Amino acid sequence: MSIERVGIVGAGQMGNGIAHVFALAGYQVLLNDISQDSLDAAMARIAKNMGRQITKGAISSEDQENALARIETTLTLTDLGQTDLVIEAATEKEEVKKQIFDTLLPHLKPETILTSNTSSISITRLASGTDRPEKFMGFHFMNPVPVMQLVELIRGIATDDETYKACLEVVNRLNKTAASAEDFPAFIVNRILMPMINEAVYTLYEGVGSVQCIDQSMKLGANHPMGPLELADFIGLDTCLSIMNVLHEGLADTKYRPCPLLTKYVEAGWLGRKTQRGFYDYRGETPVPTR
Task: Select which of 38, 140, 198, 242 is catalytic.
Answer: 140
Element (H, E) at 265: helix 260-267
Residues whose CB is less than 8 angstroms from the CB of residue 213 and which lie 6 or more positions away in sequence, other chains included:
none
Q: Is 282 helix (H, G, I), strand (E, B) or coil?
A: coil
152 is catalytic: yes
**Active-site residue (options: 16, 32, 119, 242):** 119
Q: How far, in Å, CA of 172 to CA of 69, rounded?
A: 22
Query: Is 20 annotated in the active site?
Result: no
Closest CA to 282 of 267, 270, 266: 270
User: Does the annotation mark 119 as catalytic?
Assistant: yes
User: How many angstroms separate the CA atoms of 221 and 184, rounded?
Assistant: 31
Rounded Cα distance, 250 and 125, in Å: 12
Q: From CA 138, how far away is CA 27, in angstroms rounded?
A: 19
38, 117, 120, 152: the active-site residue? 152
Count of CB atoms within 10 A of residue 112's CB? Answer: 21
245 is catalytic: no
Nearest-angstrom CA–CA distance, 209 and 160:
48
- Tell me which of 122, 190, 198, 242 is the catalytic residue: 190
For strands 150-155 and 136-141, give the pairing. Answer: antiparallel
- The residues that are catalytic are 119, 140, 152, 190
